[in-house]
Amino acid sequence: MSEFIYLIPAITILVGALTLMFMSMYEKYTVKNFITVSCIFLFIALGFSSLSFTDLYSVKPYSDLLNNVLIFDTFSNFFNILLILGTILTLLIGEHYFQHRSYFKGEFFSILLFALFGMMLLSHTNELITAYIALEIASFSVYIMVGYNTEDSKRVEAIFKYLVLGSFIGAFYLLGVVLVYGATATTNLSELGTYISTHSGDDMILVYIGLTLILFTFLFKIAAFPFQSWVLDVYRGAPMVITAYMASTFKIAIFSFFMRAFLQDLAPIIDFWDTIISVIIVLTLVFGTYLAVNQNIVKRMLAASSIVHTGYLLLAFIALSYKDGELLNIDSAYATMFYLIAYLLSALGAFGLASHIISETNVRVTYNDFKGLAHERPFLAAMMTIFLFSLAGIPSTIGFIGKFYVFTEAINAGYVSLAILAIIATIVSVYYYFKLIAMMYFYPAPSTCSIEGFNDKRVSTYAIAFVAILTILGGVGSAIVFFIPILNIDTLIALSQTAVQSLFIK
Amino acid sequence: MSPDILSFIIFLPALVAFALMITTKDVNTIRNIAFLTTTVILALVLKIYIEFIPSDGMQFVTNVPWIETYGINYYVGLDGFSLTILMMIAILIPTSYLLLWEGRTKGYWLNMLLVQTGVTGTLLSLDIVLFYFFWEVMLLPVFLMIGSYGFGKKVFTTIKVTVYTMVGSLLMFVAILYLGVAYHNEFGVWSFAYNELMRITTIEYSTKVWLFLGFLAAFAIKIPIFPLHTWIMETYKNAPTGAVFLLSSIMAKLGVYAIVRFMIPIFPEIYIEFSAYFVAIGLFGLVYFGIAALMQDDIKRMFAYSSASHLSFIAAGIFSLNEYGINGALYLIIAHAIATGALFLLVGLIHEETDFKSIKDLGGIAKQAPILTFIFAIMLFANVGLPGTNGFVSELLIIFGIYEFNHTLGYISAITVIVGASYMLWMFQRAILQDRPEGSPTLIMRDLKIKEIIGLAPWVVLVFLMGIYPEIFIDKFEPTVTHYLNDILHIGASK
């Protein structure tokens, strides 16, 4: 029974997803009911996850039944909390949007929870095939959700591009797994780790090739160059709320599995990919910036800028290295995790706020549509400004602290020129983020697009305000805001440290 | 008095601003409370000024952990340098409020308050990450002010000035991180306090030069030093008076201050080695901007160039490696802030009342507004350095300093001051004194109101007080300068 308690959050989500599926058979439930029920399940799962989130533990429950393919430790728990929080916030921020789009029916929420279940499983998985299954559960749910936008003709392009390319890269993953299995006769990460630390030379060739193919899957899912081509169109065609979900929560789930694999088991050969990844970082930063500057639709701009943020994340990832039996620069793992939190908050806020604004209209959300927002709805404009500041890494927001860690660790690991390139990308990012702020504040509202009597007192607004407060608190911390002891920046780092340490419990 | 007084001074305006933001919409109330806040701060700063002991080092220090993992502290304190500039800010801001009384929107006053938090925080931070934090934050309200209340192509100007200054700041950010990492590698712990970073010995010479340039990029853009000045013309022309005042009188000086506070202690040998170039660039900037000012017809642009010209002179003084030069530069920081601040505000007033902004359209103001002309003249003379004004003392000290540094450059600097006098006086003659030609459109200019006179009176008093009794001011910061030269640069105070 004591082992069962670790399984509760994931099982709760699964039960929640099934419940919602049954509920959706009845006509009488409204979208509001579905949101409430989803939130109840999510909060239960969050509660059970938070029970043990400061403890240091690592268990493989029911090993005779599960055969050690799932691992439950502080690391996965940390990511579970983030994933559940991301989903809750997506639901609450999207509340307004869901209610004004007729195509959101009950089963949508069921699919959302299935996606979450897949992602949570992904953070627990300790075996390559299981990881593939978890990844596909999450991905297929997201494919379906991308296609929900029946009012937009772009959705067909979005869903097909994503489905075809996603399946294609899935084949790469499987090929990689086969090659690794061919060399090592195992797909379990722990056994793979043992093989790697005891073999070298010719024995490793297939492993290297196989793992490189698996790495490509990772790069595809987080949209690094040259695997980024789907991002703009998919983000553009998906319903706004789903874009927010993909940009923030899904990315975290991908990172949770690959960080586990690289830190826990593949650490001895982690430096093998340094050259490839540094080239990819350069291309990702340059190309992402180029794309972001040229966009006119805000959603596409945010999508393109998410490519740039992937570059920053990889910058922290590459700073990890291995020498003489131990991981060097383990701090950069914390930096990655902190940056993921920072990006979760700011991207969710920015995408979510945009979806909130357009809920009752059907505009494309170009830069021009933001004109005069500050005069009509000053608080929403102020919050959007906070999120954009955070994305641009302006001090006093969590995005700045995240960039601070990432760049410090990159310089610490000796990647000074990459850090400078990332800084240049940041400079350019100031341009395209501030352009939006300028639109909101410095132009009068276009007369055709005024939305009178807009009801600001609703769940979405409060959820966005909550995210905005977290963004500010995470950037200012408790030393300056003396009266708030929680959400200390150091606490977040301490949590991620505990999480990473739990990976090394054998 | 508890040392937390500095934190109180830093955060009071921001807290008031947030409180006002959510409580009231009435512009008059906001303006009055904002004014009251700044006067409270002025009183507190006066108290600090009296309690300050010149011979001690850092005083009123608060040092508590902020981000412990990386050794970043909330570390504030003040010494002779910062005290002088703090005093300058505390006096300038409330009096400028009296002249900017016409600010009609809520956002304008809230931004003014937020700027005050930003500049005071920048000034008092001793931890370099905290400094960077405030350095960036102080720009944001100005960004909003230019974009919302500016003239002409204001949006383009706003984006340009933001990206431009951000380039410098982020280059400095890399340098800061590099220093932090170097400290970590050498001592095994993280720290970003300026007095800790001074102890780094492991950085190679060539790297140090790059780091030095990284820092310089941020400060030189803000000051601005030739050739990084291209943003100021448009900005000063299109920005509202309040923002121009803040940028030219206060933020530009913070750039100079930051050179003294962080760059000189951390890179003393590079500072000494490169000083000749910077003195030369400073003097070149003085002449270049002076000649550019001479050719301007737009009065705000002319002042923008004039301001850049003086700041180049200040930079030359800072790099002159001796007591005269640095004392003079610090003194000119205050003198220039007072004179230029007043001139910008008066020009802003003229522009608002008459709607003319080019020199050839103006004229004949002297007859219609004698008091304005009188104060304008005093500030103008202070600006060109007429004996008896504070400008004279500071320019004399800097010329001495540069002369000590290099005789030839000293002669050149003495001659270049003439350029400054010529464009100022020529402008004064054409825009204020000269009668309007026949047939030109009528120009109606009111004289100063009582509250504006009250606002400017302390500045006028200061101009002469500082011009006639410089000792009472110099005594407050001279020990710090001596300490810098003896203990940090090891080149002796009385070289």
Tell me the pLDDT tens digit for each residue of A196-236.
888 877 778 888 888 899 888 888 888 888 888 888 888 88
Residues of B within 8 A of A438 (CB-CB) are 147, 155, 158-159
Residue B85 vs residues A98, A183, A356, B11: alpha-carbon distances, Å? 55, 70, 46, 17
Instruction: Compute the Cα dihedral for B225, B231, B233, B239 and give only its sign.
Output: negative
Residues of A within 8 A of B74 (CB-CB) are 479-480
Give the distance between the most distant pair of CA atoms in chain B.
77
CB B353 within 8 A of CB B323: no
Q: Tell me the pairing of strands A326-328 and B59-67.
A: unpaired
DSSP notation for A454-465: ----SHHHHHHH
CA distance A485 to B137: 23
Among A163, A340, A317, which Cα is nearest to A249's? A340
Among A391, A385, A389, which Cα is nearest to A373's? A385
Top mean-pLDDT range of A49-53, B12-16, B468-472, B484-488: B12-16
Q: What is the pLDDT of residue B459?
A: 81
Which whole number is the average pLDDT over A316-334?
Answer: 80
Residues of A within 8 A of B155 (CB-CB) are 438, 442-443
Instruction: Compute the Cα dihedral for A303, A305, A308, A313 and give only its sign.
Output: negative
Q: Is A368 on the interface with B (CB under 8 A)?
A: no
pLDDT digits (tens, 9 = 90+) for A401-415: 888 888 988 888 888
Residues of A within 8 A of B167 (CB-CB) are 427
Rounded to a whole number of angstroms, the distance between the first and last alpha carbons of chain B is 39
Name the minimum distance, in Å, from the CA of B146 to any CA of chain A.
9
Nearest to B180 among A408, A480, A490 (CB): A408
Residues of A within 8 A of B65 (CB-CB) are 479, 490
Tell me the angle at which helices A106-124 and A251-260 cross, rounded to the nearest 10 degrees: 20
Q: What is the pLDDT of residue B1?
A: 47
Partner-chain contact B166 A430, CB within 8 Å: yes
Residue B293 clears pLDDT 60, i.e. is over it: yes
Buried/exposed B422-460: b ≥16 CB within 10 Å, e otherwise: ebbeebbeebbeeeeeeeeeebebeebeeebeebbebbb
Give the list of residues 6+ apart from residue B374 with CB closer than 8 angstroms, or none: none
Instruction: Give the count of beta carbons closer than 10 Å to the beta carbon of residue B212.
Output: 19
Nearest to B66 among A419, A442, A480 (CB): A480
Phi then psi dihedrals of residue A73, to 5 deg: -140, 180
Top mean-pLDDT range of A167-176, A457-466, A490-499, B142-151: A167-176
Q: What is the pLDDT of residue A486?
A: 55
Partner-chain contact A419 B177, CB within 8 Å: yes
pLDDT digits (tens, 9 = 90+) for A38-64: 899 999 988 888 887 777 778 887 777
Residue A453 clears pLDDT 60, i.e. is over it: no
CB A282 within 8 A of CB A337: no
CB B193 within 8 A of CB B75: yes
For residue B445 the two structure tokens come to 């200019």
Give the list of residues 6+ apart from residue A145 with CB closer than 8 angstroms, or none: A108, A111, A112, A115, A238, A239, A242, A245
Q: Is A72 helix (H, G, I), strand (E, B) or coil?
A: strand
Partner-chain contact B178 A411, CB within 8 Å: yes
Which whole number is the average pLDDT over B98-122?
Answer: 80
Count chain A–chain B contacts defined by CB atoms under 8 A: 92
Among A141, A144, A147, A148, which Cα is nearest to A102's? A148
Using a CB–CB cut-off of 8 Å, the residues of B that contact A are: 11, 64-70, 73-74, 129, 132-134, 136-137, 140, 143-144, 147-148, 154-155, 158-159, 162-163, 166-167, 170-171, 173-174, 177-178, 180-181, 184-185
Q: Is A363 on the interface with B (CB under 8 A)?
A: no
For residue B410 the two structure tokens come to 């000293």
Among A300, A298, A403, which Cα is nearest to A342's? A403
**Which residue, chain included where needed, has tokens 């509760």?**
A8
Res. A174 pLDDT band, cuts 50 70 90: very high
Residue B493 clears pLDDT 50, i.e. is over it: no
Nearest to A420 among B147, B174, B181 (CB): B174
Partner-chain contact A411 B70, CB within 8 Å: no
Give the distance between the most distant pair of CA atoms in chain A.
71
**Alpha helices, DSSP H, located in B385-449:** 390-405, 407-428
Residues of B within 8 A of A401 (CB-CB) are 67
Q: B455 versus A418: which is more confidently predicted?
A: A418
Q: Which chain B residue shows the shortest CA-CA distance from A418?
A: B174
Mutate to test the interface with B, among A388, A417, A430, A492 (most CBs of B within 10 A): A430
Residue B432 clears pLDDT 80, i.e. is over it: no
Partner-chain contact B159 A480, CB within 8 Å: no
Nearest to B74 among A404, A442, A479 (CB): A479
Q: What is the pLDDT of residue A175?
A: 93
Mutate to test the interface with B, among A472, A480, A482 (most CBs of B within 10 A): A480
Instruction: Give the count of beta carbons closer than 10 Å to the beta carbon of residue B207.
Output: 14
Counted residue by residue, chain B has a size of: 495
Residues of B within 8 A of A416 (CB-CB) are 174, 178
CA distance A282 to A415: 12
CB A128 within 8 A of CB A177: yes
Q: Is B378 helix (H, G, I), strand (E, B) or coil?
A: helix
CA distance A191 to A245: 34
Residues 122-161 on A with a CB inside 8 Å of B are none
Q: Tell me the pairing of strands A326-328 and A321-323.
A: antiparallel
Residue A162 clears pLDDT 50, i.e. is over it: yes
CA distance B266 to B194: 7
Q: What is the pLDDT of residue A448?
A: 55
Buried/exposed A434-463: b ≥16 CB within 10 Å, e otherwise: bbbbbbbbbbebeeeeeeeeeeeeebbbeb
Give the list of residues 6+ apart from residue B95 with CB closer than 8 angstroms, or none: B455, B456, B458, B459
Partner-chain contact B68 A477, CB within 8 Å: no
Whether the bond into A268 is cis, omega within 30 of 0: no
Q: What is the pLDDT of residue B87?
A: 83
Phi then psi dihedrals of residue A322, to 5 deg: -130, 130
DSSP 8-state secondary structure symbol assigned to residue A150: T
Q: Which chain A residue shows the shortest CA-CA distance from B11?
A: A480
Nearest to B181 among A394, A412, A423 (CB): A412
CA distance B367 to B370: 6
Name the minimum distance, in Å, from the CA of B272 to any CA of chain A.
27
Residue A73 vs residues A296, B75, B79, B230, B425: alpha-carbon distances, Å? 44, 38, 51, 56, 76
Which H or E run contains B65?
strand B59-67
- Name beta bridge partners: B491: none
CB B401 within 8 A of CB B324: yes
Residues of B within 8 A of A484 (CB-CB) are none
**Percentage of chain A lying above the pLDDT 90 cut:** 8
C-alpha B365: how far from chain center: 29
Q: What is the pLDDT of residue A282?
A: 92
Q: What is the pLDDT of residue A454?
A: 56
Give the list of residues 6+ apart from residue A28 with CB closer than 8 angstroms, or none: none
Q: Is A491 on the interface with B (CB under 8 A)?
A: no
Instruction: Give the count of beta carbons closer than 10 Å to the beta carbon of residue B23.
Output: 11
Partner-chain contact B166 A493, CB within 8 Å: no
Instruction: Give the count of beta carbons closer than 10 Å to the beta carbon of residue A200.
Output: 10
**Which residue, chain included where needed, has tokens 């101009």?**
B463
Q: Is A401 on the interface with B (CB under 8 A)?
A: yes
Query: Residue B407 burial (CB < 10 Å; 0-12/13-18/19+)?
Result: exposed
Q: What is the pLDDT of residue A118?
A: 92
Ramachandran region of residue A393, left (φ > 0), alpha (ψ -120 to 50) or beta? left
Rounded to a whole number of angstroms, the distance between the first and last alpha carbons of chain A is 22
Partner-chain contact A427 B163, CB within 8 Å: yes
Partner-chain contact B136 A394, CB within 8 Å: yes
**Average pLDDT over chain A, rounded to whole?**
84
Partner-chain contact B147 A442, CB within 8 Å: yes
Q: Which chain A residue shows the shortest CA-CA distance from B154?
A: A442
User: Domain segments of chain B: what residues?
Assistant: 270-495
Residue A452 clears pLDDT 60, i.e. is over it: no
Indicate whether this model's pTM tops 0.90.
Answer: no
Q: Is A205 on the interface with B (CB under 8 A)?
A: no
Q: Is A329 on the interface with B (CB under 8 A)?
A: no
Name the minimum distance, in Å, from the CA of B125 to any CA of chain A.
13
Residues of A within 8 A of B174 (CB-CB) are 407, 411, 416, 419-420, 423
DSSP 8-state secondary structure symbol assigned to residue A272: G
Residue A381 clears pLDDT 70, i.e. is over it: yes
ipTM of the modeled complex: 0.84
